[in-house]
Each structure stands twice: as structure tokens, then as C-alpha cells.
Structure 1
Amino acid sequence: MRRTAPQNPTDYLPITFPTLMLGVFFVIPFGLMVMVSFFKRVQGGFYEPSFTLANYARFLSPFFAEMLVFSLGLAALVSICCLCLGVPFTYRLTRLSRRAQVLWLIGLLGVLSLSEVIIGFAWSTLLSRTAGLSNLFVWLGLMDKPVAWTPSFAAVLTGLVYQAFPYTVLVLYPAFSRLDPSLMEAARTLGASPVRGFLNVVLPAMRKTLLATFIIVFIFALGAYLLPQILGRPQHWTLSVLVTDQAIYQSNMPFAAAMAVFLVFASLVLVAISGQINRRGGGS
């Protein structure tokens, strides 16, 4: 079916309502946030209309630049971990029977139904000293005494990977389902081991999908808010947490808006890159 260009104004009616909702609930609020990011904070007050780049200059100061690098690094590490776990899992999942695939997908959707608060406090309990996994390891004789693994960076990383893993699998699943099984069979026929065939044949064929999945998980982890607070220390907080801290507790709305503008802009750029990859890759 070929696409035809709109011939009259009524052809635009189907997209009128979505466009209106996008403008009211995203474009206008984002525009206001950009305006506030250039305003000047008033000591003892809120802020006043002005035009200053001090908020963005402060955002690039050593302390906040370090927080920015940490947030970007954490998001990248979460994406890498999810791909390392999700790619072989999804590949094996698509090789199971249809009934088994449905059961696994239902389980993953069940994880998605859990709120971030439940996930955070569940992992906080599992990684605690009093009722955590370390008590099981002591009972098995693998440890001498129980220890607390939270708050820590490892706990934050574990919680974020657990939360993002279902999204990784659901994004990878359609592409792996369409993958031609004869590729691996040909590699095995030519003498490649299963691992070598997977690394040298399957992964290169899925490179665009893997890159798009990395970007999607990166955006998801970049906006993490509750898990870094529940499972980590203040030095493990992400920019999303700092935005709330500056806006509510420090009453510095212009600086909070400047950080939020960066997060939204970075997310939009990554979404655009992901969409371009999908268009050029044709789902490969």
C-alpha cells in the first residue's frame, strides 16, 4: 500500500487530537521549563524573570559535572549489563516452544507491573544484613557472618538492571524471533562452536537492534529516581534526584530547570538516534 500526501485539511483530522495533547502536555511545559532555566534565583524568595547563563555554568561546575558523569556512566553500565544478560536469554527464549515463550513473557510482564517502590524495598530487604541473602550464604557455609550490601553502588546497579531487564528482552524479542535459524545452522556446518557461531554470526546480524536497545535502556536508566535513593548513598544519586532536591528542598527552581532541560534534551537526542537506526536497519 502506497502512502499518499494529504489532499485537503480534513486529512489532518486523525492527528489533530494527538498533536494537541503533545503540545499541551509536553511542548508548552518544556518551553516554560526552558524559560525558567534562564531566570535568576532570588535569595529568600523564588526566582525572577531574567536572562542568565549562570544556571548552566553552575551545572558544569566540578561537583555537578561529576554527578553528570556518574549518571551517564551508571546508565551506560546498566545498558551493558542488560545487553549481556538479555541477548543470550532472548536468543534462547525464541528457541523454546511457543507455550514456554508465552509463560516467560507473562513472567516478564509481571515484573513490569511492579512499582519502583516495591522493587527498591524488596532489593533493600534482600541485600540487608538482618533478613538478606547473606544469611542464606551463612547457612550454606559460604560466609562466616551476614553482611549488609546496601546502601552501595552495587545495590543501585543490581536494582536498575533488574528493573530494566524486562524492557531489554521485550525490545529484543521481535528481532530475535525473525532471525533466520539457518544462519546458526550454517555456522555449525562450517565447524563453528555454538558460542563462536553466536558471537560471529548472530550478533553481527543484530547489531542495529542491539544499538537501539542500548539507547532505549540508557534513556530509561538515565531517568532513575527512587532506586538510587533507596539502595544507594547520596554519592550514588542521579541527576533526576538532584533535580528534585534543587527544586523542592533547595528552592532553586532555575537551576533545577537547567538540569531537567539537559535530561530531556539528551533523551530526545537518543530517541531520535534510535529511531534513525530502526529506519535504516529495517528491523535487523
Structure 2
Amino acid sequence: MSRAASGDSRWVLLFPALMLLAFFVVPFGLMIAVSLFQRVQGGFYEPIVTTANYARFLSLFFGKILLFSLGLSALVAAICIAVGAPFTYLLTRLKRRSQVPWLVALLAVLSLSEVIIGFAWSTLLSRTAGISNLLVAIALMDAPVAWTPGFGAVLAGMVYQALPYSVLVLYPSFSRLDPSLAEAAKTLGASPVRAFLTVVLPALRTTLIATFIIVFVFALGAYLLPQLLGRPEHWTLSVLITDQAIYQSNMPFAAAMAVFLVVASLLLVLLTTLLGRQGRPA
């Protein structure tokens, strides 16, 4: 009976394994191969093994773009944690009936496409129909201004898009948190803010780190928002990959940058998995 069950489980795992092979392993292997090829004029490439594409990627110009992408992703993840952690904590302290509208609102944001989010924020931050007109109406500003395109607009749009993900990832852990921890800290004289910072957050340290990594990986692949809300100097690595592949017709160089992006994402996902295992009770 055990052998039959073992055989059935193998057949059950065969289909996901084939899907993983067909839609990840094979394309990723082809991308690695193309990244080692040499580009020729006319938008083509020939199978001559070279590391020139990776060497070019590590040059000063592309190194700055890489550092900007990593820094922007880290900043988005940090803001999402700073806003999402207290929001999720207060949300889980509400009654179940009161939590439902907030969770529905978060899911509604997740249903929006990146194009809709980008054009909505570009309108909100524009000079003609943006928030600055409201500030002028209440006498907080002298004249309306345009805040897009700009780094602040890119950051606001990416945080708006990633915040629901961070809240939904944090929600299960905050829901299972023992309320007596914060109550004990308040009994000993700690204020609600101090109890949250010194008791609640350290108890969920592993979850917070894992959420930071998840949001970081999500922001690292941002493509449309940096283009819709920012200038060329605010473009991320994903935008540059598309530019090299489509407009510059340099597939080997685009593949080299894509390999780095995928490897970095996989390493961060692996780190999240390891942290999740360490956070589980023995």
C-alpha cells in the first residue's frame, strides 16, 4: 500500500516538474546562453562565447543604474514595512467584522493594473488636475506645481502598488500574535508606541525581514511605473533590459542583465525561505 501511494505521489509531482522545466529551466538556460554570445550588426548575434556583456554591465554607467535600482527597491521595501507594520497591527486589533472592509480595499488595489496605477498617480501629481490645486484652494500653496515626472512620483507609485502585498504578508503573523505581550508591556509602564516598538516588532523580526525581502524583489522588477512617473535617470534595471532588447537590438547584453536580475531575485527568495524555516517552532 505504501509503495502504491509513493508511486501516485511521484505521478502527482511529475506535472509541476515538467511545467517548471518547460517554463523556467529551459528559458533561463537559453537566456544564459544568449548572454554569452557576441552581438553583430543588424540586431543579430553569433554563438561566440564571450564575457564582454557581463563586463559592460559592470561599467560605471550601468553600475549606477544597478545601484539606483537596488536602492529604490530597498527604499520602497523600507517604507512599506514602516507603514505596513503599524497599520497591520492596528488592523488585527479590530473586530473581524471591521477588518473585512479594509481587506477588501487592499484586494481592490491588487486588482489594479500597473498602467492604471501609473496614470492615476500621474494625474494626481500633475499641475493641471493634481493635488497641488487642492492645496492652492485651501491656501497652503500659491500656485499649482507638477510633481511628475520625478523621483518622488516614482517612489509614491511603487509604494502604493507594493503596500498591499506587505500588509497581506504581515497579516497572518500579526493575527497569531499573543495580545498579552503588548498588554504586559503596558502594565509595566510602557506606552502603546513603546510596547509596539520594543515588544511586538522584535517578536515578529523574522516575518518583517521576510516581508522586506519579498517587497524588495517585487520592486526590483518594476517596469511601467518608472517610465510613466519618472525621467530616464529614474529608470530601473527592468526598463533598461527592455530598452536594450527592443530598441537597441542588443539581445546578448539584455540577456546578461536579465540573468543578473533573475539570480538576484532567486537568491533573495531563497533567503526568505531560510528565514521562514528558522522562524518556525521546533
Q: TM-score range, shorter-chain basis?
A: over 0.9
Measured against aligned partners, the alpha-carbon deviations of 1:130-176 in whole angstroms (never above 9, x if no partner) come to 00000000000000000000000000000000000000000000000
Residues 224 and 240, structure 1, Cα contact 8 Å, conserved in 2: yes
Paired residue for 1:60?
58
Quickly say closer, same or farther: Cα 1:5–1:255, change in 2 above 3 A.
farther
Q: Is the 8 A contact 1:6 1:12 kept in 2?
A: no
In structure 2, how many angstroms separate the alpha carbons of the residues matched to 1:169 and 1:76? 17
Q: Percent identity?
A: 71
Whole-Å separation in 2 of the counterparts to 1:118 and 1:231: 12
1:128-277 equivalences in 2 (<5 Å): 128-277=126-275
Out of 82, 103, 125, the position equivalent to 1:127 is 125
Contact 2:149 2:228 in 1 (8 A): yes
List runs of 5+ in structure 1 lacking aligned partners: none
- Letter of the 1:158 partner, please give it: A
Shift of 1:100: 1.1
Please, which runs of 5 or more residues in structure 2 have no aligned partner?
none
Secondary structure of the structure 2 residue equivalent to 1:147: coil
Question: What CA distance in whole angstroms lies between the structure 1 residues aligned with 2:8 and 2:94?
Answer: 48
Deviation at 1:8, TM superposition (A): 4.8
- Separation in structure 2 between the aligned mates of residue 44 and residue 185 of structure 1, nearest angstrom: 69
User: Quick one: structure 1 residues 6 and 233, their matched pair in 2 at CA, closer, same or farther if it must change by over 3 Å?
Assistant: farther
Shift, 1:11, TM fit:
2.9
1:25 and 2:30 matched: no
Secondary structure of the equivalent of 1:41? strand
* CA distance in structure 2 between the partners assigned to 1:51 and 1:5 by the alignment: 47
Question: Residue type of the partner of 2:113?
Answer: S
Q: Secondary structure at the match of 1:216?
A: helix
* Corresponding pairs, count: 281
Q: Is this contact kept in 1: 2:37–2:48, CA < 8 A? A: yes
Give 3-state SS (helix, strand or coil) of 1:29's partner.
helix
User: Match for 1:76: what amino acid?
Assistant: A
Match of 2:85 in 1: 87
In structure 2, the partner of 1:69 is 67
TM-score, normalised to structure 2, is 0.97
SS in 2 for 1:70: helix
In 1: Cα distance, 2:67 partner to 2:3 partner = 45
Q: 1:29 to 1:204 in 2, by over 3 A?
A: same
Inter-partner Cα distance in structure 1 for 2:265 and 2:204? 23
